[in-house]
Amino acid sequence: MEKIQMTTPLVEMDGDEMTRIIWQMIKDELITPFVDLKTEYYDLGLKHRDETSDQVTKDAGEAIKKYGVGVKCATITPNAQRMEEYSLHEMWKSPNGTIRAILDGTVFRAPIIIDSIKPVVKNWELPITIARHAYGDLYKGTEYRVPEKGKAELIFTGENGATFHETIYDFECPGILQGIYNKDTSIESFAHSCFKYAINTKQDLWFSAKDTISKKYDMNFRNIFQDIYEKEYKEEFEKLGLEYFYTLIDDAVARVIRSKGGFIWALKNYDGDVMSDMVSTAFGSLAMMTSVLVSPDGNFEFEAAHGTVTRHYYKYLDGEETSTNPMATIYAWSGALKKRGEIDGLADLTSFGEKIEEACVETLNEGIMTKDLIGLVEEGTPTAVNTEGFIKAVRERLEAKL
Among positions 77, 220, 247, 386, the unique one binding ligand NAP when judged by CB under 6 A: 77
- Amino acid identity of 150? G
40 binds Mg ion, rule: CB under 5 A:
no
Residue 198 or 304 having the CB closest to ligand NAP: 304
| Smallest distance from Mg ion to CB 268, Å | 14
The 3-state secondary structure of 174-206 reads: CEEEEECCCCHHHHHHHHHHHHHHHHHHCCEEE
Give least dist CB 390 to ligand NAP, A: 10
**Whether the Cβ atoms of residue 367 and residue 382 lie closer than 8 Å to each other:** yes
One residue of 63, 74, 228, 332 binding ligand NAP per CB under 6 A:
74
Positions 366 through 385 that interact with ligand NAP (CB under 6 A): 372
- Tell me which stretch binds ligand NAP (CB under 6 A): 52-60, 74-82, 175-183, 234-242: 74-82
Among 308, 334, 350, 363, binds ligand NAP (CB under 6 A): 308
* Residues numbered 204-233 forming contacts with ligand NAP, rule: CB under 6 A: none
Contact between 57 and ligand NAP by CB under 6 A: the answer reads: no
| Interaction of residue 287 with ligand NAP, rule CB under 6 A | yes
> What are the angstrom distances between the C-alpha of 228 and each of 103, 190, 312?
20, 11, 45
Task: Rule CB under 5 A: say whether 273 interacts with Mg ion.
Answer: yes
Q: Which residue's beta carbon is nearest to the bound ligand NAP?
A: 307
CB 364 within 8 A of CB 398: no
Amino acid letter, residue 120: V
Instruction: Output the smallest distance, CB 161 to Mg ion, in A.
Output: 41
Which residues make Cβ contacts (< 8 Å) with residue 141, sequence separation at least 6?
A: 178, 179, 180
- For the CA atoms of 346, 351, 357, 363, the dihedral, rounded to the nearest 10 degrees, stands at -140
Among 39, 96, 299, 334, binds ligand NAP (CB under 6 A): 96
CA 203 to chain centre: 17
Contact flag: residue 277 with Mg ion (CB under 5 A): yes
**At a CB cut-off of 8 Å and minimum separation 6, what does 158 contact?**
none
| Nearest distance in Å: CB 291, ligand NAP | 7
Q: Which of 4, 26, 76, 256 binds ligand NAP (CB under 6 A)?
A: 76
Closest contact distance (angstroms) between CB of 273 and Mg ion is 4
By CB under 5 A, the count of residues binding Mg ion is: 2
Over the window 230 to 269, marking each residue x when it contacts ligand NAP by CB under 6 A and - when it does not, the resulting string is ----------------------------------------
Choices 18-26, 33-41, 223-231, 277-285; region in contact with Mg ion by CB under 5 A: 277-285
**Binding of ligand NAP at residue 386 (CB under 6 A)?**
no
- For ligand NAP, the binding residue among 306, 338, 355, 397 (CB under 6 A) is 306
300-304 and 69-72 strand pairing:
parallel
Which range touches Mg ion (CB under 5 A), out of 274-282, 289-297, 345-353, 366-374?
A: 274-282
Q: Choose the binding region for ligand NAP from 23-31, 98-106, 154-162, 299-307 (rule: CB under 6 A).
A: 299-307
Residue 98 touches which of ligand NAP, Mg ion, none (Cβ within 5-8 Å per kind): none
Q: Which residues bind Mg ion (CB under 5 A)?
A: 273, 277
Q: Which residues bind ligand NAP (CB under 6 A)?
A: 74-77, 96, 286-287, 303, 306-311, 324-325, 372
